[in-house]
């Protein structure tokens, strides 16, 4: 019987296409182009003598052969992660790369500005930032540490609440001065997220209480919204730590209007990591730094 040898890259490819459901999504995860994924998948199927995925314009569907092979590939993945964790345990002082995942707005306005201080405290650490609305999978080491708005409910993860932050209404100083205390929400123009993030409490608050024609900008980029607010386009609900940024001021509601409206939401921020990695010196150093700095940031908005 012929013995086959397969590299970890082959198994990663199999798992990525299986989990992501399309070659395009797998290519993004593996940081290669789609043609490379297609070529490598063709080569793997030829070598195995098995058809692994039915491909169509709607994505990829695993065959019975792929379903049988995936559990073995996952065992190899667990072994590779265990190997990596053991190597990490040999580290004696904070040194090397730490991957930190966070939502884009948090990265742009609060995480990126503190990285210089972090590296100054730990000169042998290098930071890789994963800026995405989607959560990185810490179990598969897509990131070492994550900043999240919601506490994880599954996985062997540890989570520490960095604090709670109330929402307020932000505008440019000029717009805030002109509006004074709002007596009607429709006296202002508004900025919020688009339909993809319509499930957020702050978006629902705007959509439920503001006339549609008064919403002048919907954007899934928080940075784009903040820049538009700074330019004077309108008012946006956001957590109070944003009041510490340049070019933003608070808009107050008149007491009568405040009594009529549902309260603005409250946000939380969590620091999340994998339990098995918390003792790795470089990860522990970044965790402790972010814990202290972001607790200060959240507290500053109270």
Domain check: are 147 and 50 in the same one? no
- Angle formed at CA 255 by CA 251 and CA 260, multiple of 5 degrees: 100
Under 8 Å between Cβ of 266 and 149: no
Can you give the pLDDT at residue 31? 82
Domain check: are 32 and 143 in the same one? no
Q: Which two tokens stand for residue 273?
A: 């990591």
Domain check: are 84 and 228 in the same one? no
Helical axes 64-89 vs 8-20, angle rounded to 10°: 120
Residue 1 lies in a domain: no
Q: Check residue 214 and report its DSSP letter.
A: G
Can you give the pLDDT at residue 86? 66
Under 8 Å between Cβ of 248 and 230: yes
Can you give the pLDDT at residue 273? 93
CATH of the domain at 107: 3.40.190.290
The secondary structure element, H or E, covering residue 271 is strand 266-274
Can you give the pLDDT at residue 1? 35
Closest of 45, 62, 43 to residue 53, by C-alpha:
62
Closest of 289, 288, 292, 269 to residue 279, by C-alpha:
288
Can you give the pLDDT at residue 92? 61
Which alpha helices (DSSP H) does the chain contain, by range?
8-20, 23-30, 34-48, 64-89, 104-106, 115-121, 173-179, 201-209, 222-230, 255-260, 281-300
Strands 96-102 and 145-148: parallel
What residue numbers bound the domain in which 151 lies?
93-302
Residue 2 lies in a domain: no
- Please give the average pLDDT of every successive group of 10 residues along the chain, which has 302 residues: 61 88 87 88 87 88 89 82 67 84 94 96 95 83 91 86 94 97 96 92 96 96 96 96 94 96 93 88 94 90 61
Residue 269 lies in a domain: yes
d(CA 250, CA 240) in angstroms, rounded, equals: 9
Domain check: are 190 and 239 in the same one? yes
Under 8 Å between Cβ of 24 and 34: yes
Domain check: are 106 and 244 in the same one? yes
Domain check: are 130 and 220 in the same one? yes
Query: How many domains does the chain contain in total?
Result: 2
Can you give the pLDDT at residue 3? 45
d(CA 49, CA 47) in angstroms, rounded, equals: 6
Can you give the pLDDT at residue 5? 59
Domain check: are 206 and 227 in the same one? yes
pTM: predicted TM-score of the whole model, two decimal places = 0.68
Can you give the pLDDT at residue 289? 96
Domain check: are 35 and 60 in the same one? yes
Domain check: are 33 and 175 in the same one? no
Domain check: are 214 and 256 in the same one? yes
Residue 91 φ then ψ, to 5°: -65, 130
d(CA 184, CA 149) in angstroms, rounded, equals: 30
């Amino acid at each position: 019987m012929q013995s086959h040898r397969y590299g970890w890259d082959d198994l990663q490819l199999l798992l990525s296409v299986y989990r992501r459901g399309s070659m395009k999504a797998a290519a993004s995860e593996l940081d290669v182009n789609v043609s490379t994924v297609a070529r490598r998948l063709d080569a793997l199927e030829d070598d195995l003598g098995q058809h692994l995925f039915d491909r169509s314009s709607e994505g990829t569907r695993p065959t019975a052969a792929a379903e049988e092979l995936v559990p073995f590939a996952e065992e190899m993945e667990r072994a590779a992660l265990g190997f990596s964790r053991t190597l990490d345990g040999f580290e004696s002082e904070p040194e090397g790369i730490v991957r930190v995942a966070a939502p884009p707005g948090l990265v742009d306005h609060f995480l990126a500005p503190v990285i210089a201080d972090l590296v100054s405290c730990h000169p042998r650490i290098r930071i890789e930032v994963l800026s995405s609305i989607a959560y990185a999978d810490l179990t598969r080491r897509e990131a070492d540490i994550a900043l999240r708005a919601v506490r994880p409910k599954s996985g062997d993860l540890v989570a520490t609440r960095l604090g709670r932050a109330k929402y307020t209404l932000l505008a440019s100083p000029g717009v805030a001065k002109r509006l004074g205390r709002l007596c009607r929400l429709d006296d202002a123009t508004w900025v919020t997220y688009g339909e993809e993030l319509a499930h957020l409490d702050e978006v629902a608050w705007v959509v439920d209480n503001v006339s549609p024609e008064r919403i002048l900008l919907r954007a899934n980029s928080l940075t784009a919204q903040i820049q538009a607010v700074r330019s004077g386009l309108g008012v946006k609900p956001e957590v109070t730590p944003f009041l510490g940024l340049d070019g933003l001021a608070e808009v107050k509601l008149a007491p009568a209007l405040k009594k009529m409206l549902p309260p603005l939401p409250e946000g939380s921020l969590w620091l999340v990591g994998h339990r098995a990695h918390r003792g790795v010196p470089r990860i522990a150093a970044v965790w402790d730094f972010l814990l202290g700095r972001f607790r200060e940031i959240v507290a500053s908005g109270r």
